[in-house]
Amino acid sequence: VLEIAMGVKSSVPMAGVASRIDDRSRRVFLTFGIVLGVVFGRLLIPELAVAAEHLSTGDVGRALREIVDEPDLFAADLLAVRPLLAAFGAVFVWLVFAEYLFNTDRLTRRPWMGAPEAALARVKHPWAWSWATAAAGATTVALLVAADERLQVLAWSAAGGAAYGLSKAVA
């Protein structure tokens, strides 16, 4: 219930995006976009992350069996992949926020964060700044984690960026 409630809170920025598109597209976006976002983002990504961890053993189905038969083991496995999920989500969410912060669409609007936001919204090459700041953040975090987790954190960060790119391509 908490995961679904947290997913629904993202409907506020989605409604802002939906206000800029035509009625038919808005209905599709709000119906499928929010439902799929909540279902996939909140209910399937943790299982997929644990399943990916089991790739090395060749037993991907183990994650699904753990959910049903051994929830304590699944919780431990999920805790082990938490930094990877955080890396994925942080890059994805940052890119969504940076789209607004750097005003990548160059929309006329009043900055609600004041002068700093107004200055950032006027930078040249806003998309480049969005991606550069996401890459800088992911690299910084990768340097802060244990050495044996750095490559995984960078890979999941890249996957978060790829998911954002895919969502923009679909949009």
Tens of pLDDT, residue by residue over 83-119, are 888 898 889 988 988 888 787 776 777 777 778 877 8
Check residue 11 and give its pLDDT. 59
DSSP 21: S
42 Cβ contact list (under 8 Å, min separation 6): 3, 4, 6, 7
Per-chain mean pLDDT for the chain: 80
State the alpha helices, DSSP H only, in 11-146: 11-18, 23-28, 34-38, 45-53, 62-69, 71-80, 82-101, 115-120, 126-144
Answer for the pair 137, 94: CB distance below 8 angstroms, yes or no: yes
The answer to whether residue 137 scores a pLDDT higher than 60 is yes
Check residue 10 and give its pLDDT. 61
Q: How far is CA 27 from CA 17, 30, 56, 87, 166, in A?
A: 12, 5, 42, 31, 20
Q: Which residue has the tokens 């993202």?
A: 10
Q: Which residue has the tokens 């949009």?
A: 171
Q: In what helix (H) or strand (E) does residue 158 lie, and over which residues does it extend?
A: helix 150-170
Mark 30-41 as b/e (b = at least 16 C-beta within 10 Å).
beebbeebbeeb
Q: Which two tokens stand for residue 168?
A: 């923009």
